[in-house]
A and B are shown apart, each in its own frame.
Chain A
Amino acid sequence: MSTGLTTLAGLLLLPALLLPLCARPRLLIGLLALQAVPVALAALAAGQLGLAAALLAGLALLGLCLRRNLPAAPLPRGAWLMAAGGLLALAVAAAMAAPLPAERLPPALVAPCLALLLLGLAAMAAGQGLVQAGGLASAGHGWILAGLAAELPHLWWPALLLGLLPPALLLLAEEAPPP
């Protein structure tokens, strides 16, 4: 999958990622965090263990942020099923990744998944800012971007672009008059 096609797919998904932020920030942020699972899977499959570790560390920070700053409410059953599926796949992938030859599964899988994750994270960080909990979310976002830059330096420009998106959205949100 070429970088152009990856960018196109990411741009096509962007409205669907951003639209529900207006209405259901808490649930959405939690579910968007699950988008890291396919990327971490692809990273493990491609033998990029550093990127997978960075993703999981960033996710943990985002989870911490959610727990501290958002009101507790029971999650729908569907969200638990999704989390169970994702964690199961990640656990098995992490256990099997060490003996897995890197060339067995194509590293090219990482790029499209990563572009989608970056868009999701951008939306997530913007959502965190909109609910007045920007600090830790930005730290998690930055951590993941740092992991990305270290592992896949050729993708620096979409990382930079998407890294700049949340602060821009935050600025716009702060400048907008209160409803």
Chain B
Amino acid sequence: MALLAALLAQALHGALVLAAAVLLPGLVAWLSARFLGARGPRPWQPWREWRALWGARLLRRAAAGPPGAAAPPLAAAAALAAALLVPGFSTGMLLAPLADLTVVFGLLALAEAIRLFVLLDQGHPAAPRALALLPFLLPAGLLVLAGLALLGGGTHLPTLIAALREGAAPLPTGLLLAALAALALSALGLPPAPLDPALPDATGRDLLCWRLHAAGRLIAWAGLFVALAWPWGVAEPGAGFLAALFGILAWVGKLLLVAPALALLGLLAPRWPLARAPEWLGGAALLAGLAAALIFVAAAQA
């Protein structure tokens, strides 16, 4: 019975992630346009584009070879798998044993590495900048991960969420959440970058895979942030139908708060320079280091 409930929760989470992959980028684009006084595309516009891409003709460079054919679906699968592993409305999902922060970071890093590999292979003009960002992203991410692990007693996401919900030390928690936000914004970039990162030149289903990759990484980062920043409302394993329903409403509500925040940030900082991202990542590492130091001091004094 418990296995069936976990399976159902996982399937429902998968459906919600797919729906959010369509609606969240569409909602951010719509809100950005509305804030500027324009009508903007409808929030479900990505769905129409994806359907058109599914049926569009696929053109692929002959020189790309099998790696070129495998890269788009692999990148999309890695980003969507990361989004699937991050607990949404419940921590009692089938894949919960695999829901580890290190694995989620690893999947996101793998998806990014594949995108970079293809950009480099194509000689894309965005490749050098994206490549320069990656070496900063990993140590900053690992420092944030280490800080969160020290705070919550491990890297297992359901455990971490439970520890934060029970009330971890507020100052280190705040510092780590600020560091996580800086990390996510640096990895994604402000709008329109989260919605349309530098994608490799592709057509048809390959382009659809790159769009899924972009949507998957947006949902994964947003889901991770809301799960750790607002751990309340997430149903625990074995919780009943009502708790799950409340969890779904809470998850949707949290994501609905993230969408205008992203749109507003994009408008307030419209010239978000990618060249400043290493400084943001350095700042994230500094905050995480400070949080780790505070955790050590608190543990020694207790």
Contact = CB atoms under 8 A, between A and B. Distances in A.
Interface in B131-175: 131-132, 134-140, 142-143, 145-146, 149-150, 153-156
Interface string B252-292: 00000000000000000000000001111111011111101
Interface stretch (B31-39, B106-114, B201-209): B106-114
Contacts of B110: 12-13, 15-16
Interface stretch (A38-46, A58-66, A153-161): A38-46
Contact of B279 (A11, A19, A81): A81
Nearest to B292: A89
A96 B296 contact: yes
A116 B139 contact: no
Interface in A83-140: 84-89, 91-93, 96-97, 99-100, 104-106, 108-109, 112-113, 116, 120
A82 B285 contact: yes
Interface stretch (B51-59, B96-104, B188-196, B224-232): B96-104
Given A19-B117, A24-B135, A86 B156 contact: no
B79 to A, nearest CB: 12
Interface stretch (A29-37, A142-150, A163-171): A29-37
Contact of A85 (B143, B149, B296): B143
Nearest to B156: A1
Contact of B138 (A6, A13, A89, A91): A13
B102 A116 contact: yes
Contact of A23 (B78, B106, B131, B142): B131
Interface in B47-81: 78
B145 A85 contact: no
Contacts of B153: 105-106
Contacts of A88: 286, 289-290, 293
Contacts of A35: 138-139, 142
Contact of B132 (A11, A13, A16, A24): A24
Contact of B142 (A38, A89, A92): A38
A31 B139 contact: yes
Interface in A5-30: 5-6, 8-13, 15-17, 19-20, 22-24, 27-28
B218 to A, nearest CB: 18
B3 interface: no
Contact of B135 (A27, A92, A96): A27
A4 to B, nearest CB: 10
What bracket does the count of chain A residues touching chain B fall in?
35 or more
A19 B134 contact: yes
A106 B287 contact: no
Nearest to B186: A78
B4 interface: no
B264 to A, nearest CB: 25
B116 interface: yes
Contacts of B132: 20, 23-24, 27
A121 to B, nearest CB: 13
B138 to A, nearest CB: 6
A77 interface: yes
B285 A86 contact: yes
Contacts of A116: 102, 142
Given A12-B103, A23-B128, A82-B286, A92 B293 contact: yes
Interface string A41-60: 11011000000000000000
A88 to B, nearest CB: 5
Nearest to B82: A12
Nearest to B143: A38
A96 B285 contact: no
Contacts of B105: 9, 13
A120 B287 CA distance: 22
A34 B114 CA distance: 23
B297 interface: yes
Contacts of A97: 296
Interface of A: 1, 5-6, 8-13, 15-17, 19-20, 22-24, 27-28, 31-32, 34-35, 37-39, 41-42, 44-45, 76-82, 84-89, 91-93, 96-97, 99-100, 104-106, 108-109, 112-113, 116, 120
14 contacts: A9-B105, A15-B109, A17-B138, A38-B143, A39-B146, A41-B146, A42-B149, A76-B278, A76-B282, A78-B136, A82-B139, A86-B143, A89-B293, A105-B150
